[in-house]
Protein backbone atom coordinates (compact mmCIF):
# COMPACT_ATOMS: atom_id res chain seq x y z
CA UNK A 1 0.00 0.00 0.00
CA UNK A 2 1.18 3.49 -0.84
CA UNK A 3 0.84 6.28 1.70
CA UNK A 4 -1.69 8.19 -0.43
CA UNK A 5 -3.86 5.16 -1.27
CA UNK A 6 -7.50 5.49 -0.30
CA UNK A 7 -8.22 2.97 2.48
CA UNK A 8 -11.72 2.22 3.75
CA UNK A 9 -11.97 0.85 7.29
CA UNK A 10 -15.47 -0.56 7.79
CA UNK A 11 -16.33 -0.61 11.49
CA UNK A 12 -13.82 2.08 12.52
CA UNK A 13 -15.66 2.74 15.78
CA UNK A 14 -15.34 -0.86 16.93
CA UNK A 15 -12.53 -2.45 18.92
CA UNK A 16 -10.60 -3.81 15.92
CA UNK A 17 -11.54 -1.14 13.41
CA UNK A 18 -10.42 1.61 15.74
CA UNK A 19 -7.09 -0.15 16.27
CA UNK A 20 -6.59 -0.54 12.52
CA UNK A 21 -7.16 3.20 12.07
CA UNK A 22 -4.57 3.94 14.79
CA UNK A 23 -2.08 1.57 13.16
CA UNK A 24 -2.54 2.99 9.67
CA UNK A 25 -2.12 6.56 10.90
CA UNK A 26 1.02 5.62 12.83
CA UNK A 27 2.46 4.25 9.58
CA UNK A 28 1.73 7.48 7.71
CA UNK A 29 -1.45 6.49 5.86
CA UNK A 30 -3.60 9.60 5.88
CA UNK A 31 -6.18 9.01 3.15
CA UNK A 32 -8.59 7.00 5.27
CA UNK A 33 -12.29 6.53 4.55
CA UNK A 34 -14.54 6.13 7.57
CA UNK A 35 -18.31 6.12 7.91
CA UNK A 36 -20.41 5.55 10.99
CA UNK A 37 -23.37 3.19 10.78
CA UNK A 38 -25.64 6.25 10.83
CA UNK A 39 -23.82 7.65 7.81
CA UNK A 40 -23.63 4.36 5.91
CA UNK A 41 -25.81 1.35 6.72
CA UNK A 42 -23.77 -1.58 5.43
CA UNK A 43 -26.92 -3.73 5.47
CA UNK A 44 -28.38 -1.61 2.67
CA UNK A 45 -27.16 -2.81 -0.72
CA UNK A 46 -27.94 0.39 -2.62
CA UNK A 47 -26.22 2.58 -0.03
CA UNK A 48 -23.08 0.41 -0.10
CA UNK A 49 -22.99 0.32 -3.90
CA UNK A 50 -23.39 4.10 -4.10
CA UNK A 51 -20.61 4.60 -1.53
CA UNK A 52 -18.12 2.40 -3.38
CA UNK A 53 -19.04 3.88 -6.75
CA UNK A 54 -18.48 7.40 -5.45
CA UNK A 55 -15.38 6.87 -3.30
CA UNK A 56 -13.53 4.10 -5.18
CA UNK A 57 -11.29 2.97 -2.30
CA UNK A 58 -8.06 1.15 -3.13
CA UNK A 59 -8.05 -1.11 -0.05
CA UNK A 60 -10.74 -2.28 2.37
CA UNK A 61 -10.56 -3.63 5.91
CA UNK A 62 -13.92 -5.26 6.67
CA UNK A 63 -14.00 -5.09 10.46
CA UNK A 64 -17.69 -4.22 10.77
CA UNK A 65 -19.92 -6.91 12.28
CA UNK A 66 -22.82 -7.46 14.63
CA UNK A 67 -21.29 -9.08 17.72
CA UNK A 68 -22.49 -10.05 21.18
CA UNK A 69 -22.30 -12.56 23.96
CA UNK A 70 -24.19 -15.78 24.59
CA UNK A 71 -27.37 -14.06 25.76
CA UNK A 72 -27.52 -11.75 22.75
CA UNK A 73 -26.88 -14.59 20.29
CA UNK A 74 -29.56 -16.71 21.92
CA UNK A 75 -32.10 -13.88 22.03
CA UNK A 76 -31.56 -12.44 18.55
CA UNK A 77 -30.38 -15.30 16.29
CA UNK A 78 -32.13 -13.89 13.22
CA UNK A 79 -30.50 -10.48 13.68
CA UNK A 80 -27.04 -12.01 13.98
CA UNK A 81 -27.22 -14.15 10.86
CA UNK A 82 -29.13 -11.59 8.76
CA UNK A 83 -27.14 -8.46 9.63
CA UNK A 84 -23.74 -10.11 9.26
CA UNK A 85 -24.64 -11.81 5.99
CA UNK A 86 -26.00 -8.56 4.57
CA UNK A 87 -22.91 -6.57 5.51
CA UNK A 88 -20.52 -9.17 4.10
CA UNK A 89 -22.36 -9.70 0.83
CA UNK A 90 -22.82 -5.99 0.21
CA UNK A 91 -19.26 -4.89 1.00
CA UNK A 92 -17.39 -7.77 -0.68
CA UNK A 93 -19.47 -7.59 -3.86
CA UNK A 94 -19.37 -3.80 -4.08
CA UNK A 95 -15.61 -3.79 -3.44
CA UNK A 96 -15.07 -6.23 -6.30
CA UNK A 97 -17.29 -4.26 -8.65
CA UNK A 98 -15.61 -0.96 -7.75
CA UNK A 99 -12.14 -2.29 -8.53
CA UNK A 100 -10.78 -2.44 -4.98
CA UNK A 101 -7.22 -3.78 -5.15
CA UNK A 102 -7.43 -5.86 -1.98
CA UNK A 103 -9.84 -6.60 0.85
CA UNK A 104 -9.11 -8.00 4.32
CA UNK A 105 -12.04 -9.83 5.95
CA UNK A 106 -12.10 -10.53 9.68
CA UNK A 107 -13.41 -13.88 10.86
CA UNK A 108 -13.20 -15.13 14.45
CA UNK A 109 -11.69 -18.09 16.29
CA UNK A 110 -15.12 -18.82 17.79
CA UNK A 111 -16.33 -20.14 14.42
CA UNK A 112 -14.04 -23.16 14.56
CA UNK A 113 -15.71 -26.47 15.51
CA UNK A 114 -16.66 -26.77 19.16
CA UNK A 115 -14.39 -29.79 19.64
CA UNK A 116 -11.56 -28.82 17.29
CA UNK A 117 -8.11 -30.24 18.15
CA UNK A 118 -5.81 -27.91 20.08
CA UNK A 119 -4.09 -25.79 19.01
CA UNK A 120 -6.56 -25.05 16.22
CA UNK A 121 -5.16 -25.07 12.69
CA UNK A 122 -6.75 -23.24 9.78
CA UNK A 123 -7.71 -26.53 8.13
CA UNK A 124 -9.90 -27.44 11.13
CA UNK A 125 -12.60 -25.03 9.92
CA UNK A 126 -15.81 -26.89 8.94
CA UNK A 127 -14.56 -30.25 10.24
CA UNK A 128 -17.09 -30.52 13.08
CA UNK A 129 -20.19 -29.08 14.70
CA UNK A 130 -20.26 -25.46 15.78
CA UNK A 131 -20.67 -24.11 19.28
CA UNK A 132 -24.50 -23.94 19.62
CA UNK A 133 -24.48 -20.67 21.56
CA UNK A 134 -23.09 -18.67 18.64
CA UNK A 135 -23.87 -20.77 15.56
CA UNK A 136 -25.86 -17.99 13.85
CA UNK A 137 -22.91 -15.62 14.02
CA UNK A 138 -20.51 -18.42 13.06
CA UNK A 139 -22.49 -19.47 9.98
CA UNK A 140 -22.52 -15.86 8.76
CA UNK A 141 -18.78 -15.43 9.32
CA UNK A 142 -17.99 -18.71 7.56
CA UNK A 143 -20.10 -17.53 4.64
CA UNK A 144 -18.02 -14.35 4.50
CA UNK A 145 -14.80 -16.35 4.36
CA UNK A 146 -16.18 -18.58 1.62
CA UNK A 147 -17.39 -15.56 -0.31
CA UNK A 148 -13.87 -14.11 -0.27
CA UNK A 149 -12.51 -17.41 -1.57
CA UNK A 150 -15.24 -17.74 -4.21
CA UNK A 151 -14.70 -14.21 -5.53
CA UNK A 152 -10.97 -14.90 -5.71
CA UNK A 153 -11.54 -18.11 -7.69
CA UNK A 154 -14.20 -16.79 -10.07
CA UNK A 155 -13.24 -13.15 -10.47
CA UNK A 156 -9.61 -13.00 -9.36
CA UNK A 157 -10.61 -10.60 -6.57
CA UNK A 158 -7.73 -10.22 -4.10
CA UNK A 159 -9.53 -10.91 -0.82
CA UNK A 160 -7.88 -12.43 2.26
CA UNK A 161 -9.46 -13.63 5.51
CA UNK A 162 -7.92 -13.58 8.99
CA UNK A 163 -9.01 -15.42 12.14
CA UNK A 164 -8.28 -13.50 15.36
CA UNK A 165 -8.17 -15.12 18.77
CA UNK A 166 -9.70 -13.51 21.91
CA UNK A 167 -9.02 -9.77 21.68
CA UNK A 168 -8.80 -7.06 24.33
CA UNK A 169 -7.52 -3.52 24.65
CA UNK A 170 -8.53 0.16 24.47
CA UNK A 171 -12.15 0.59 23.46
CA UNK A 172 -13.18 -2.85 24.72
CA UNK A 173 -16.69 -3.63 25.96
CA UNK A 174 -16.77 -3.43 29.76
CA UNK A 175 -20.55 -3.88 30.03
CA UNK A 176 -20.90 -6.82 32.39
CA UNK A 177 -23.99 -8.15 30.64
CA UNK A 178 -22.09 -8.72 27.40
CA UNK A 179 -18.34 -8.39 27.91
CA UNK A 180 -15.77 -11.16 27.62
CA UNK A 181 -13.73 -12.52 30.49
CA UNK A 182 -10.74 -10.16 30.46
CA UNK A 183 -12.57 -6.81 30.44
CA UNK A 184 -15.11 -8.27 32.89
CA UNK A 185 -12.31 -9.22 35.28
CA UNK A 186 -10.72 -5.78 34.99
CA UNK A 187 -13.95 -4.01 35.82
CA UNK A 188 -14.92 -6.35 38.63
CA UNK A 189 -11.52 -6.25 40.33
CA UNK A 190 -11.50 -2.47 40.04
CA UNK A 191 -14.97 -2.14 41.54
CA UNK A 192 -14.14 -4.62 44.29
CA UNK A 193 -11.03 -2.61 45.17
CA UNK A 194 -12.99 0.66 45.20
CA UNK A 195 -15.72 -0.82 47.39
CA UNK A 196 -13.33 -2.66 49.72
CA UNK A 197 -14.94 -6.00 48.90
CA UNK A 198 -13.16 -8.96 50.56
CA UNK A 199 -13.49 -11.29 47.57
CA UNK A 200 -14.22 -11.61 43.86
CA UNK A 201 -16.03 -14.75 42.71
CA UNK A 202 -15.07 -16.19 39.32
CA UNK A 203 -17.34 -18.71 37.63
CA UNK A 204 -15.90 -22.17 37.09
CA UNK A 205 -12.80 -23.88 38.36
CA UNK A 206 -10.24 -21.50 36.90
CA UNK A 207 -8.63 -24.32 34.90
CA UNK A 208 -9.80 -23.56 31.32
CA UNK A 209 -7.05 -22.15 29.13
CA UNK A 210 -7.51 -19.13 26.89
CA UNK A 211 -5.35 -17.13 24.49
CA UNK A 212 -5.45 -13.33 24.54
CA UNK A 213 -4.17 -10.93 21.88
CA UNK A 214 -3.96 -7.17 22.34
CA UNK A 215 -6.05 -5.42 19.71
CA UNK A 216 -3.13 -3.20 18.65
CA UNK A 217 -1.20 -6.36 17.80
CA UNK A 218 -4.22 -7.60 15.88
CA UNK A 219 -4.36 -4.38 13.89
CA UNK A 220 -0.64 -4.56 13.16
CA UNK A 221 -1.05 -8.13 11.90
CA UNK A 222 -3.96 -7.11 9.64
CA UNK A 223 -1.97 -4.30 8.03
CA UNK A 224 1.06 -6.59 7.70
CA UNK A 225 -1.00 -9.31 5.99
CA UNK A 226 -2.65 -6.76 3.73
CA UNK A 227 0.82 -5.87 2.48
CA UNK A 228 2.48 -9.28 2.25
CA UNK A 229 -0.10 -12.09 2.10
CA UNK A 230 -1.85 -13.09 -1.13
CA UNK A 231 -3.24 -16.56 -0.36
CA UNK A 232 -6.76 -17.96 -0.50
CA UNK A 233 -6.30 -19.84 2.78
CA UNK A 234 -7.38 -18.17 6.01
CA UNK A 235 -4.70 -17.06 8.47
CA UNK A 236 -4.94 -17.43 12.25
CA UNK A 237 -3.87 -14.36 14.21
CA UNK A 238 -2.87 -14.95 17.81
CA UNK A 239 0.09 -15.21 20.16
CA UNK A 240 0.39 -19.00 20.10
CA UNK A 241 0.34 -19.19 23.91
CA UNK A 242 -2.44 -19.43 26.47
CA UNK A 243 -3.02 -19.05 30.22
CA UNK A 244 -5.51 -20.53 32.66
CA UNK A 245 -8.40 -18.38 33.82
CA UNK A 246 -6.90 -18.57 37.33
CA UNK A 247 -3.58 -17.23 36.03
CA UNK A 248 -5.43 -14.46 34.19
CA UNK A 249 -7.43 -13.53 37.30
CA UNK A 250 -4.26 -13.38 39.39
CA UNK A 251 -2.56 -11.15 36.82
CA UNK A 252 -5.55 -8.81 36.56
CA UNK A 253 -5.77 -8.59 40.35
CA UNK A 254 -2.09 -7.70 40.51
CA UNK A 255 -2.39 -4.99 37.84
CA UNK A 256 -5.46 -3.47 39.50
CA UNK A 257 -3.91 -3.69 42.96
CA UNK A 258 -6.70 -5.78 44.46
CA UNK A 259 -5.59 -7.59 47.62
CA UNK A 260 -8.75 -9.54 48.49
CA UNK A 261 -9.50 -13.20 47.87
CA UNK A 262 -10.25 -14.75 44.50
CA UNK A 263 -12.87 -17.46 44.88
CA UNK A 264 -13.83 -19.96 42.17
CA UNK A 265 -17.41 -21.20 41.97
CA UNK A 266 -16.96 -24.74 40.62
CA UNK A 267 -20.74 -25.21 40.41
CA UNK A 268 -20.77 -22.86 37.42
CA UNK A 269 -19.75 -24.01 33.90
CA UNK A 270 -16.17 -23.80 32.70
CA UNK A 271 -16.94 -23.74 28.99
CA UNK A 272 -14.51 -25.22 26.48
CA UNK A 273 -11.40 -26.57 28.26
CA UNK A 274 -9.01 -24.90 25.84
CA UNK A 275 -9.05 -22.45 22.92
CA UNK A 276 -5.66 -21.87 21.33
CA UNK A 277 -4.75 -20.99 17.75
CA UNK A 278 -1.90 -22.50 15.77
CA UNK A 279 -0.08 -19.45 14.34
CA UNK A 280 2.49 -21.28 12.20
CA UNK A 281 1.11 -19.82 8.94
CA UNK A 282 1.20 -16.29 10.36
CA UNK A 283 4.75 -16.73 11.66
CA UNK A 284 5.86 -17.83 8.20
CA UNK A 285 4.95 -14.35 6.90
CA UNK A 286 7.40 -12.80 9.36
CA UNK A 287 4.97 -11.49 11.98
CA UNK A 288 4.62 -12.21 15.68
CA UNK A 289 2.82 -10.56 18.60
CA UNK A 290 4.80 -7.89 20.45
CA UNK A 291 2.60 -6.85 23.39
CA UNK A 292 2.93 -9.15 26.41
CA UNK A 293 -0.17 -10.00 28.44
CA UNK A 294 0.92 -8.12 31.58
CA UNK A 295 1.86 -5.05 29.53
CA UNK A 296 -1.40 -5.21 27.59
CA UNK A 297 -3.57 -5.57 30.69
CA UNK A 298 -1.76 -2.65 32.32
CA UNK A 299 -2.36 -0.34 29.36
CA UNK A 300 -5.98 -1.50 29.02
CA UNK A 301 -6.61 -0.80 32.71
CA UNK A 302 -5.13 2.67 32.28
CA UNK A 303 -7.53 3.27 29.39
CA UNK A 304 -10.42 1.99 31.49
CA UNK A 305 -9.55 4.33 34.37
CA UNK A 306 -9.34 7.30 32.04
CA UNK A 307 -12.58 6.62 30.15
CA UNK A 308 -14.84 4.50 32.35
CA UNK A 309 -13.35 4.11 35.83
CA UNK A 310 -15.40 6.87 37.38
CA UNK A 311 -18.77 5.36 36.55
CA UNK A 312 -20.94 3.89 39.27
CA UNK A 313 -20.46 0.27 40.20
CA UNK A 314 -22.87 -2.22 38.67
CA UNK A 315 -22.90 -4.15 41.95
CA UNK A 316 -22.03 -7.79 42.63
CA UNK A 317 -18.57 -9.25 42.23
CA UNK A 318 -19.21 -12.40 40.22
CA UNK A 319 -17.51 -12.79 36.85
CA UNK A 320 -17.74 -15.51 34.23
CA UNK A 321 -14.63 -17.58 33.63
CA UNK A 322 -15.36 -18.48 30.01
CA UNK A 323 -14.39 -16.50 26.95
Confirm or deny that 36 is annotated as ligand binding: no
Confirm or deny that 109 is annotated as ligand binding: yes
Confirm or deny that 16 is annotated as ligand binding: yes
Confirm or deny that 107 is annotated as ligand binding: yes
Q: Answer for the pair 118, 176: CB distance below 8 angstroms, yes or no.
A: no
Which residues lie below 8 Å from residue 289, measured CB to CB, with a gap of 6+?
213, 214, 217, 221, 238, 239, 240
Burial class (CB in 10 A: 0-12, 13-18, 19+), 277: buried
Rounded Cα gap, residues 210 and 199, in angstroms: 23
Confirm or deny that 17 is annotated as ligand binding: yes
Residue 170: name the closest of 307, 27, 289 by CA: 307
Confirm or deny that 300 is annotated as ligand binding: no
Strand partners, 212: 166
Buried b (16+ CB within 10 A) or exposed e, 254-271: ebbebeeebebeeebebb
User: What SS3 state is found at 85?
Assistant: helix
Confirm or deny that 11 is annotated as ligand binding: yes
Confirm or deny that 141 is annotated as ligand binding: yes
316: left (phi over 0), alpha (psi -120 to 50) or beta: left
Of 8, 59, 112, 137, catalytic: 137
97: left (phi over 0), alpha (psi -120 to 50) or beta: alpha
Q: What is the dihedral of CA 199, 205, 206, 208, to 10 degrees?
A: -160
Confirm or deny that 114 is annotated as ligand binding: no
Confirm or deny that 210 is annotated as ligand binding: yes
Confirm or deny that 46 is annotated as ligand binding: no
User: What SS3 state is found at 92?
Assistant: helix
Confirm or deny that 12 is annotated as ligand binding: yes
Residue 179: name the closest of 291, 307, 3, 15 by CA: 15
Confirm or deny that 103 is annotated as ligand binding: no
Q: Residue 312 has what DSSP assignment?
A: P
Confirm or deny that 193 is annotated as ligand binding: no
Confirm or deny that 77 is annotated as ligand binding: no
Confirm or deny that 263 is annotated as ligand binding: no
Q: Is 76 annotated as catalytic?
A: no
Confirm or deny that 252 is annotated as ligand binding: no
Instruction: Pick out the residues of the known binding site for NADP(+).
Output: 11-17, 106-109, 141, 164-167, 180
Q: Binding site: residue ranges? A: 11-17, 106-109, 141, 164-167, 180, 188, 203, 210, 270
Catalytically annotated residues: 137
> Binding site for substrate: which residues?
188, 203, 210, 270
Amino acid sequence: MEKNDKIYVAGHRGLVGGAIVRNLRSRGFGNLLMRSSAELDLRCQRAVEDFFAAERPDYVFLAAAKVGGILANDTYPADFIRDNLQMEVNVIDAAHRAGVRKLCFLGSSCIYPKFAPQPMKEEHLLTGELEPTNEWYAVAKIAGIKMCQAYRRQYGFNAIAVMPTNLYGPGDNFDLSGSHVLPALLRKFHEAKQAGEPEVVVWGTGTPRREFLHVDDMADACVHLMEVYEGENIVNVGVGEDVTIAELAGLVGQVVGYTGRIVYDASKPDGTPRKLLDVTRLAATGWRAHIGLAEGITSTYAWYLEHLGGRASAGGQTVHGGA
